[in-house]
Structure 1
């Protein structure tokens, strides 16, 4: 049984800036961390690797700049067996489809894999598209919003996924791609000893050439969706003071008039 986990290095802050010309996130000078939702995918993969035993293996992949190698080492400290960084200047500006293509090529090169786990979404992009797109490119079973994995046996996986108003039990054929939610588990804490043990581990880097990806499939050239312009919302607040004083009835009438005008303005 071979399991793969897709992780992403994201800013450890909600305050990010966008390059108005390139339409890409400015990452310089930001503290980075493993996408919090990906930690639940890592925990699930390592837990099931231990349950299945035998020759079960967990391999982690991350696409990003050279600095993302820290995310790979964090995953190794988490308990993953091997890790690969997918990095190349050609990948700069990749949208979700171009990213999924690169990840799928890496899985094909280092695979095959029976199960691929991803976090539900990345906190910097909030699209939730890469996981399902990756599963489609793999021609695998795709299941989203997974909050419980109950069984993996005989080439099938049984799990539960969150749906509006409740949950749904799904039995899928392997290989499968799962996008998991935070309710799935509680990720383990990394100890200093584990971090030190992987500090010197060499992490292989896969480039576009290594993956056999044509230039027109990479980065901005390979991205059918692109940011055309960047606009920041302007918060404009105005208020009108109503003095109650001794005339409460007049104050209520004035407030009702103001609200009526506001409703009419919005409906118009």
Structure 2
């Protein structure tokens, strides 16, 4: 278990809802079943965002889970929007835009307060003090419980923490891509939850001989090895692997019971691609 912000207790292995289909039809029915199965299996941390289906993912989770069971945290993200002319996603963390996005998220999730709200990206066109200050004000108004950031540097995290307490960081991070190790170290020092996305390197884990070898030794899958490595790498890591299949969901969650030996961890510690890449994404991915 981990206490986000020092008081909000969640299980360390969560669920990223990004891949859940939201359009009417069999795909949506399957998505509802996956979300409900995640909670049945003990997941208490579920990650979504306005960007996932322009709010449709939030509405899907509310349909599947509301009224939310005790202890279940649905965290969402704001700070991106569709541009009117091209319909492309753009960063938009102006104070008025953030306020409107939070109000809409409250409505879609059917809650009066979002216990953990994360800024999907810092908006370079808006002063950081205005972005973080607006979230601080919304927290003071009772619409946000805790504030998180996504895809930030150590320096940006430090500047934000001068304005308000930061409860979580959601950066790309996995066994093969540790570009943000310095950010993880900063989070660990401060007790800040680190929610890695792209947790299994988009399926590349199984292609690495060392990972495949460890998986064979442990009678596990490469995905489970990658997730178990994350859980043991730092106590503040809260992986949020995502999937649209119940079988994958069950495979992912079984990683919490996988014990890697010290020798196996040492072999895995030496692996890293630093493969970069920063699309406007978030949430955990499943191969």
Bigger relative contact order, structure 1 or 2 (CA pairs below 8 A, ≥6 apart): 1
- Asked if TM exceeds 0.5, the reply is no
Q: Where is the strand percentage greater, Structure 1 or Structure 2?
A: 1
The TM-score, its normalising length taken from structure 1, stands at: 0.29
Q: Where is the helix percentage greater, Structure 1 or Structure 2?
A: 2
Q: Which has the larger radius of gyration?
A: 1
